[in-house]
Structure 1
Amino acid sequence: MKLLSEDIKNKVLQSMERILDEERSSIVEANKKDLDAFDSDDQAMYDRLVVNQAKIDGMIQAVKEVREQQDPVGKLKSSRELDNGLRIENRTAPFGTIMIIYESRPDVTIEAAVLAFKANNKILLKGGKEARFSNEKLEECWHKALKENGLDPESWIRLLQMNRQETQEFLKNPPEKLDLIVPRGGERLIRFVKDNAECAVLVSGRGNNFLYVHREGDWDRALDIIVNAKTDKISACNALDKILIDKQIPGFEDKVKQLAEVLGERNVELLTDQDLKSLLPQAHVIEDESVWYEEFLALKAVIAAAENVDDAIGRINTYSGGHSASVITRDEEVARTFMEQVDSAAVYQNASTRFTDGGQMGVGAELAISTDKLHHRGPLGLEQLVTNKYYVYGNGQVRV
């Protein structure tokens, strides 16, 4: 793939900022067609589908932030000269072609493409059918920006319109070389991609996040953090699902009841196990272990007791999606143990899981939140959308 100069890439992005601003009304109009056709009771998916003026502002800001970041391609990672005279440099390089498969959110059509393009990758976008009109309009904006700057649109950003069967066949027998696939969505989508793809798949997007209140935790602070993590944005992968309360916390029973009351006031449906059923008569008893593995994406949460920090860590590592986990405690040693031993992309002390986000973490616009351990874990920003290549300079050396 041809390497573009940073100047031409930034000019494309500058054009895109202007075009998104000029096309506001037509973008909202296209989104209205998707909203009118949406036929589901899934409130979280509906919320992700909406594109309003604030969302367009966010798209423009995302493009601007990426444009202002340094080009990630060709950066020198290491350099050494060997005894035989070979000079070896390790530099960043584009992946090549990245395919992203996502559900509902039209803003991904902007955020994913801008990152991939600035990192000199070609991107194939496979959005959900529920966002068809929105995505087509946003692709049109991308193509206009590319053409304005003398680039072939199809060579850089392309929206794919395929049904499930066609997508499956595309993954199994891609008509062009794919270097990386990033599925953004629920467990079913991720499993579908992993089961069918022939190239590398970077898993992202699944939450099922836990929060543990240690016996040395500040209870008032814990309540504020839990409410924020659970109710601020239920459709986000960094939203809270499971809450573990240390049995040794002073006033355990009263605190459990207070937490249930606070969440109930915010219409959060509660689930619990047999141990706490007597304290939480309004909660549904968990009948199947699968609930512990579930990401809710709804006003729903599990409240359960933990014997101690080791019990909490074990349960989190067994059931969580490896996305985010938080401990509420004043005990620095407990916090360090929790953060070192919990196997998640982001671990917190005394803070909401809602901060697992590229913008909030200072990465800028993100392609996804990776829960994989290979290549990168956490927000996939511009710096993470490159691979590496070795440049070896010699003057006739041969291996003996």
Structure 2
Amino acid sequence: MSPAPSSKIVAELKKRAQKLGFVQFGIASAKVPADWQTNLQNAIAKNWHGDMDWMAETFERRVSPNALWPEAKSAIVLAYNYTPDTNPMDMLGETDKGIISVYARNRDYHDIIKGKLKELAGMLSRQAACNVKVFVDTAPLMEKPLAQQAGIGWQGKHTVLVSKQEGCWLFLGTILTDAELSIDEVETDHCGSCTRCLDICPTNAFPEPYKLDARKCIAYLTNEFRGVIPVEFRKPIGNRIYGCDDCLAVCPWNKFAKTTADIKLQMREDLRAPDLVDLAKFDDVAFRTHFAGSPVKRLGRDAFLRNVLIALGNAKGHDVVGDIKAHLNEDNPIVRGAAVWALSQHVTSNEFVSCAQSAKKTETDETVMAEWQGDVK
């Protein structure tokens, strides 16, 4: 174990973190409460993680920082503000426009934060002669509970971290070290009787407060999931084409949040209210070019187009039938199936049957045939 750094070194580290743009800084022990394992185990047993198999596969390492790095003694947790300049829910009525989650409207936050964390970790390592490791949402580390242990905020009823000073719009980064640091006081829960985040969920993804069934969550369905989105969630998705921020946006603690000062996280104008019909025209090259540097790029063109087509199906009152029909013969059956469903939301039964008869690639495709045979809404 490395010697304990002086309080002066920690104070200098905190001051540097502030200059780098971090709005919260806290320290927790790498030894965490036993109930972390129980909570995660219960969620996985109920399959609330959906297709995110990596959560189960990395369970043993995920339940504790010491399981990930046995020599770790302390965890420095930092929060970075990405508060938007407008409420993302204001666009829900603009059904011909696509809504992209606030965190993905510009540069990938991993690229922005990791470099800053490395600078801080290097500073600590040099001054305290200790070993360090940095993490930004890419390793099996339970960052939100760890942030609560570090006094940064608490995990709200929507399972997202909430800060009394900064609200919900926070990215988290962690520095593990084998130095034993003086830990901060654990933050307590300040949700009270409020249930706004639970009540606003379009798909009832919260089986109970503080519990999330990802299989029903629009953020999971449009960001992580690559398969056929279940029919019962397609209308509730509305015009959300990448993620969902509703439960964050309604949190009353956001009254203390300030718009992010980092220009790399401020909304790109072309992603503020993109036209769905324009997005539907993207081939793979256009998709990758348009979303270069954005988290959206990781989704891939086909899954993104699936989302766009579902949103076009919900764009009632707009002339989008031709744009939907253009995708009835896509190579990917999941995309074709989404186009079939979207078409069914806009045309009469006779028109729908006529399109089915003229389509070229559906005869032996069970996925798409199931969509053709569904009820016309």
TM-score norm. by structure 2 comes to: 0.25
TM-score norm. by structure 1 comes to: 0.24
Higher strand share: 1
